[in-house]
Structure 1
Amino acid sequence: MNSPIDYINRNPLKKIKKNVYIEGRRTSMSFEDYIWEQLERLGHEENMTVDEICTEIERARPNNRII
């Protein structure tokens, strides 16, 4: 895994757009590379996919909207 310093040496503000499925619905989300990597790390630790993590976040949000 890369350290936060590795990301600073790159362009830390560059956003990466990826498709994710939230509750079976495909959507696009843009985050810095570091955020995507942390979502993947969390998924590995929790034995979940990034899609599953995003779905859990959506379900926990007050208005049930991540986008």
Structure 2
Amino acid sequence: MAGRDGTNERPVLICRNVTVSGRRTSLRMEPLLWDSLKEICEREDMTLNQLCTAIDQRRGGANLTASIRIVIVQYFRAAAGSTGMEEIGPEGSRVFQKAMDEVLPRFPA
């Protein structure tokens, strides 16, 4: 993959440890995606571990990192379409649940 300067450098990936469903695991994603997860956590009043666990419980056999990326995109699409990205009140929002319902089927835990 060619970078902006025409070199074959790969995009920078940041590796972070999270606890998902009670077990520690590593996720590698681009900085923008980590920033997006942080914003979702703040808007939804969730910790990173809680958010990743919620996604993990719904992803079935899909890759966790890929599922997180899809939820991030769908979250902001849902937020832009339903609330105009306005601030979320103290009770949280339904944006995260809507995003999850639209992209990840429900699987038994």
Scaled to the shorter chain, the TM-score interval is 0.7 to 0.9
Structure 1: how far apart are the matches of 2:38 and 2:16?
Answer: 13
Q: Which residue of 2 aligns with 1:42?
A: 40
Equivalent runs, 1:9-24 vs 2, <5 Å: 13-24=11-22
How does 1:1-67 map onto structure 2 within 5 Å?
13-63=11-61, 66=64
Cα separation, partners in 2 of 1:23 and 1:64, compared to 1, 3 Å: farther
Task: Find the residue that maps to 2:64 and give its secondary structure.
Answer: coil
Q: Gaps (5+ residues) in structure 2?
A: 5-9, 66-109
1:28 aligned counterpart, secondary structure: strand
Note the aligned Cα RMSD (angstroms).
Answer: 2.3
Q: Which runs of 5+ in 1 are unaligned?
A: 1-7
Q: How far did residue 63 of structure 1 move?
A: 2.8
Percentage identity across paired residues of the two chains:
32
Closer, same or farther in 2 for the Cα pair 1:64/1:15, shift >3 Å?
A: closer
Dislocated runs of 4+, deviation >4 Å: none
Between structures 1 and 2, the one with greater strand share: 1
Larger Rg: 2
User: Number of residue pairs matched?
Assistant: 57
TM-superposition CA deviations, 1:2-54 (whole Å, max 9, x none)? xxxxxx9xxx9200000000011001110000000100000000000111111
